Chains A and B, each alone.
Chain A
Amino acid sequence: AQKVTQAQTEISVVEKEDVTLDCVYETRDTTYYLFWYKQPPSGELVFLIRRNSFDEQNEISGRYSWNFQKSTSSFNFTITASQVVDSAVYFCALSESRAGKSTFGDGTTLTVKP
């Protein structure tokens, strides 16, 4: 069975601070896919990134970066120089190679204060 753990329920930072959201996953598959989604206060769910298990290269997109480490089964998300607009709930998710089933973490609520 697959499992995703986001140990940080809530994080509060002041604007311009860097913040890292942790994600640890469990799966028996050797082929799997990891995702991050953002849910701002307006409620919609927005895709941020997808990574497959064979691609451990870290990714940077503007102020966002992701660190994928298979050795520790982690897929952490860092926001550099946080802004108030980054305030949202962030979900980490896992899909195994048996396409269809997906598992989400419980989410981390990030509050960025001005």
Chain B
Amino acid sequence: EAQVTQNPRYLITVTGKKLTVTCSQNMNHEYMSWYRQDPGLGLRQIYYSMNVEVTDKGDVPEGYKVSRKEKRNFPLILESPSPNQTSLYFCASSPGGTGELFFGEGSRLTVL
């Protein structure tokens, strides 16, 4: 089954404790992207990647890192999480940068 898989789905952590949200897709898509969803603010793009070893900032990259060492994986790294990073995070992939996005199920992160 074609899918985008995120882990963990739910996480409660404390300020400053590094965490990684993994994202994996099995559709051989070149493009992957991370978004955060906050009430009333829609989805805001954090980082995106057009291909392996190619990443670029979206609209809200501060406090996040990403890497794209393999085509299928695009982890989101919070080196020192803060409470304002409490949010619902979505990973997405697409055959190309302007195509239909296939989203993961979302990861709800709470930073205390």
Contact = CB atoms under 8 A, between A and B. Distances in A.
Do A and B interact? yes
Interface of A: 6, 9, 33, 35, 37, 43-45, 47, 50, 91, 93, 95, 97, 99-107
B42 A107 contact: yes
B44 to A, nearest CB: 7
B101 A104 contact: no
A50 B59 contact: no
B31 A106 contact: no
Contacts of B33: 100, 102
Given A104-B43, A104-B44, 5 more contacts: A43-B105, A91-B42, A95-B97, A99-B50, A105-B42
A67 B59 CA distance: 28
Given A35-B100, A44-B103, A47-B102, A100 B48 contact: yes
A42 B45 CA distance: 21
Given A45-B103, A107-B42, A100 B31 contact: yes
Contacts of B74: none
B45 to A, nearest CB: 6
Contact of A99 (B31, B40, B58): B31
B23 to A, nearest CB: 14
A99 B97 contact: yes
B101 to A, nearest CB: 7
Residue of B41, B42, B59, B88 with most chain A CB atoms under a 10 A cut-off = B42
A45 B50 contact: no
Contact of B105 (A44, A47, A93, A99): A44
Contacts of B97: 95, 99-100
B84 interface: no
A103 B59 contact: yes
A33 B98 contact: yes
B62 interface: no
A97 B90 CA distance: 23
A4 B101 CA distance: 17
Contacts of A6: 42
Contact of A103 (B45, B56, B101): B45
A17 B60 CA distance: 38
